[in-house]
Amino acid sequence: MNKILLQILAFLISQFLHGDYFTEFIKYEAQPDFSRIVITNQTIRGQRGVDYFKGNSKEYEKKNMFLTRYYNGDYKRIEKVESMDGHEIKSVLTIHPPSGHGFGGAVPTNFLQVYFNGKLALNSPVGYSHQFEITVPKIVIHPQEQMLEVFNNKANGGVDFGFIKHGKVLILEEGKLSSRKRELALPFAVSMTCLNGIDTIRIIDEGIYPTVERQFQKLDKGEKRSFRVAGPFRAFCEDLLDLKFEVNGRQVVRIKEEGVDNYRFDFVE
């Protein structure tokens, strides 16, 4: 009798383990014929499909299908740029794989920033965010209409809309997406001037979550770049003296060095 019970228990455990055998990936798909870009979080279930996708994940990246549940390796930053209907749309996807420990360590953390003609239009999780208990399975960008659809479980009707042509940006606030005027969501206008040639600079806006990272390459002497931030920002560059920053028309008040080639800019009167 005990032998039969053990066999039944082993069978049930086996079924339970196999029933939870899955992985996830994010798919990026540009559809110029329809004037849209579709970004989805998708699931594969069953050992054959999961193992095949994981074993060929590098090949699938060439098809814009990015594995999120991997356990070896650092975070990924993927940039995609499209030109549609006279607009440039840059999508920056960041994938942080499961840490494997701690509360929420079994799930990946994915974020997407969308820039429309160089201006931030969306800052959102993709897939399930354990920290905010929000699930975003699908994001659609409509360049011709200058509009966003972000499907999620916390929106009225299941979808939040972003109206880019009206100067709005969709950002994460108090665990849900909120449509705000860009000047209110990102109140600080930053002007950056290159005083000498510089190869690379990274700017991280720490006043917004998820933090927004901008990268600039190969700036020549005298070149300028302008962008808006929500609060204090951090600059990673070889030499701060090669750059001049102004915020809302005034030079930054305080600069605090945080390490080699790492500078934090605070807005302090």
Between CA 175 and CA 249 the distance in angstroms is 33
- At 206-248, the pLDDT tens digits run 999 989 999 998 899 999 999 999 988 888 887 777 888 899 9
Between CA 199 and CA 215 the distance in angstroms is 11
Per cent of the chain over pLDDT 90 is: 64
Structure tokens at 137: 């399975």
Torsion on CA atoms 264, 112, 149, 134, rounded to nearest 10:
-90
pTM of the model: 0.85
Q: What pLDDT, on the 0 to 100 scale, is given for residue 257?
A: 63
Look at residues 168, 184, 200 and tell me which one is the last residue of a structural domain. Answer: 184
Is residue 186 within 8 Å of residue 230, measured between CB atoms? Answer: yes
Would you say the C-alpha torsion 31, 32, 36, 37 has a positive or negative sign?
positive
Q: What pLDDT, on the 0 to 100 scale, is given for residue 22?
A: 94
Which amino acid is present at 218?
K
H helix and E strand count, the chain: 4, 23
Q: If pLDDT is split at 50, 70 and 90, which confidence band does 197 have? A: confident
Residue 237 lies in a domain: yes
Between CA 74 and CA 95 the distance in angstroms is 9
Report cis status (omega within 30 of 0) of the bond before 210.
yes
Q: If pLDDT is split at 50, 70 and 90, which confidence band does 253 have? A: low
Query: Are 122 and 98 members of one domain?
Result: yes
Which amino acid is present at 142?
H
Query: Are 180 and 192 members of one domain?
Result: no
Query: Are 247 and 132 members of one domain?
Result: no
- At 121-157, the pLDDT tens digits run 999 999 999 989 999 999 999 999 999 999 999 999 9
Radius of gyration in angstroms for the set of CA atoms belonging to the chain, rounded to a whole number: 22
What does the DSSP 8-state code read for residue 220?
A: P
Q: Which strands form 188-194's sheet, in the order they lie side by side?
A: 224-229, 188-194, 243-247, 250-251
Per cent of the chain over pLDDT 70 is: 88
Look at the chain and count its residues: 269
Query: Are 205 and 256 members of one domain?
Result: yes
Q: How many domains does the chain have?
A: 2
Between CA 28 and CA 217 the distance in angstroms is 24
Q: What pLDDT, on the 0 to 100 scale, is given for residue 56?
A: 97
Query: Are 59 and 179 members of one domain?
Result: yes
- Among the residues of the chain, which ranges form H helices? 2-19, 47-55, 57-61, 182-185
Expressed as residue numbers, the domain containing 157 is 23-184
Is residue 236 within 8 Å of residue 201, measured between CB atoms? Answer: yes
What does the DSSP 8-state code read for residue 34?
A: G
Query: Are 174 and 63 members of one domain?
Result: yes
Residue 18 lies in a domain: no
